[in-house]
C-alpha cells in the first residue's frame, strides 16, 4: 500500500505541474520606459555617449578592432557595413544628453538591402530589442532567428522621426536584428541608444483535461493517506 501511495503522489505532482510551451507573442511599443520594464532581465542600453563607448573619438567605426571588442562586451556584434559613429548631432537627437549617432543607410555607404541597414548579432539570450532614430528619419527594426539577418523573420516594428521603436517576442530568442533606413527618400538616417533584454517565460496552464486528471489523482492520494493514518 505504501508503494502504491508513493506512486500516486508522484503521478499527481507530475500531471498538475507539466507546463505547456507558450505561443510566441509579438509586442511592439514606442515607449522606451515600458519597453525597459518588460525586458528587465539582463537589460542593456548601448549608450554611445557614456563609458565605455565615449572613450572613442567622434568618427570611429563600429567594426574597428577596439570598438568592436567594446560592443561585443556589451552584448552586440555588428555585421557587414563598418558604420561610423558621429558626435555633434544635437539637432538630430531628441534624447537629452545624447549627441552621437550610428550613421545608417545607403547614403552613408550602407547596403541597398531594405534601403540601407545596420545589422547586429545579439550575443546573449535576448527576446526584446529597441532603439531610437534621428529626427526626421527612421525605418524598421526586424528580428531574426539566425545570425546576420538569417533564419526566420520573427517580427518587426517601425521607428520614425526621432522616435523609439521596440519589439518583444515573449518566447523566441532573437539572434540578430536589422535597423533599416527607409522612412524617406534620402536613404540616410541614424540610430542610437540600441537596447535589449529578456522577459521571463510564463508557462501556460495545463489543459482542463489534465487539470481534472491531476485533481482526481490528488484526491485519491489524500483519501489513501487518510486511510493509512486511520
Q: Tell me the C-alpha distance between 130 and 157, whole Å.
A: 9
Percentage of the chain surpassing pLDDT 70?
Answer: 71
Going from N- to C-terminal start, the domains of the chain cover: 23-198
Q: Do the Cβ atoms of 189 and 134 come closer than 8 Å?
A: yes
> Region 151-174: what's the mean pLDDT?
92
Lookup: cell for 164? 523609439
**24-79 pLDDT tens trace:** 699 999 999 999 999 999 999 999 999 999 999 999 999 999 999 999 999 999 99
Percentage of the chain surpassing pLDDT 90?
Answer: 53
Q: Tell me the C-alpha distance between 190 and 137, whole Å.
A: 8
Give backbone dihedrals phi and psi of 194, rounded to 5 degrees, phi first: -60, 135
Which residues are 165's β-sheet partners? 131
**135-156 pLDDT tens trace:** 888 889 999 999 999 999 999 9
In this predicted model, which residue has the larger pLDDT, 200 or 208? 200
What is the enclosing helix (H) or strand (E) of 221? helix 208-229
* Count of CB atoms situated within 10 Å of the CB of 152: 11
DSSP tag of 206: P
| Residue 230 confidence (pLDDT) | 46
Q: Do the Cβ atoms of 2 and 214 come closer than 8 Å?
A: no
Q: Tell me the C-alpha distance between 81 and 108, whole Å.
A: 10
Architecture category of domain 23-198 in CATH: Sandwich (2.60)
pTM beyond 0.85, yes or no: no
Amino acid at each position: 500500500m505504501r508503494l502504491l501511495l508513493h506512486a500516486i503522489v508522484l503521478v499527481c505532482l507530475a500531471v498538475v505541474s507539466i507546463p505547456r510551451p507558450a505561443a510566441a507573442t509579438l509586442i511592439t511599443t514606442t515607449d522606451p520606459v515600458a519597453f525597459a520594464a518588460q525586458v528587465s532581465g539582463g537589460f542593456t542600453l548601448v549608450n554611445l555617449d557614456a563609458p565605455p563607448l565615449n572613450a572613442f573619438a567622434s568618427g570611429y567605426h563600429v567594426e574597428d578592432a577596439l570598438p568592436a571588442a567594446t560592443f561585443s562586451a556589451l552584448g552586440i556584434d555588428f555585421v557587414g557595413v563598418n558604420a561610423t559613429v558621429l558626435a555633434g548631432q544635437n539637432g538630430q537627437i531628441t534624447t537629452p544628453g545624447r549627441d552621437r549617432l550610428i550613421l545608417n543607410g545607403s547614403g552613408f555607404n550602407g547596403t541597398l538591402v531594405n534601403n540601407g541597414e545596420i545589422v547586429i548579432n545579439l550575443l546573449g539570450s535576448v527576446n526584446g530589442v529597441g532603439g531610437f532614430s534621428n529626427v526626421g528619419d527612421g525605418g524598421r527594426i526586424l528580428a531574426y532567428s539566425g545570425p546576420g539577418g538569417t533564419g526566420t523573420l520573427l517580427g518587426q516594428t517601425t521607428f520614425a522621426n526621432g522616435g523609439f521603436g521596440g519589439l518583444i517576442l515573449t518566447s523566441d530568442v532573437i539572434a540578430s536584428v536589422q535597423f533599416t533606413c527607409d522612412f524617406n527618400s534620402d536613404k540616410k538616417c541614424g540610430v542610437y541608444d540600441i537596447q535589449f533584454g529578456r522577459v521571463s517565460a510564463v508557462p501556460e496552464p495545463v489543459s482542463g483535461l489534465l487539470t481534472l486528471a491531476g485533481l482526481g489523482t490528488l484526491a485519491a492520494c489524500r483519501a489513501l493517506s487518510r486511510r493509512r493514518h486511520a
